[in-house]
Amino acid sequence: MRTSNFIPTKLHLCRAHTARESMNCLRAMFSGHIISRFGDVAWPPRSPDLTAAGYFLWVYLKSRVYVNKPRTIMELKQCITEEIRALLLRVMGNFRSRLQERIRCHGGHLTNVIKK
């Protein structure tokens, strides 16, 4: 039996998620909201701050919370709490409907998996 000391050093260079075809598809679906190395919102590859998902969440929350123009820290906390609660309810509703669709299809392929 032959063993190899091969270490896949080039695997980290694979950028399938930033390939031109992938990025064009994402731009068509999420125009102006792509957080990526080549996306609409520049994002450093190894940022010590937030992940791309965390960054998107805070940008989204900020856009929703400051519509009400909270004047105190308590109002700000209440607005953030309400928006997160509403977001979680929408996520759970979408998840529930996707599960029901999966059951209806007897575990087969889902026809419409993108929810708005």
| pLDDT given at position 11 | 44
Q: DSSP letter string over the chain?
A: --------TTGGG--GGGSHHHHHHHHHHSTT--EETTSSEE--TT-SS--HHHHHHHHHHHHHHTTS---SHHHHHHHHHHHHHHHHHHHHHHHHHHHHHHHHTTT---S-----
DSSP label of 41? E
pTM of the predicted model as reported, rounded to 2 decimal places: 0.49
Residue 24 near residue 43 (C-beta atoms within 8 A): no
- Residue 36 has, within 13 A of its CA and on its CB side, a CA count of 19
Domain boundaries, the chain: 12-46, 50-116
DSSP label of 16? G
| pLDDT given at position 4 | 45
Q: What is the pLDDT of residues 6-40, one digit of tens each?
A: 444 444 455 566 677 877 888 888 888 777 777 77
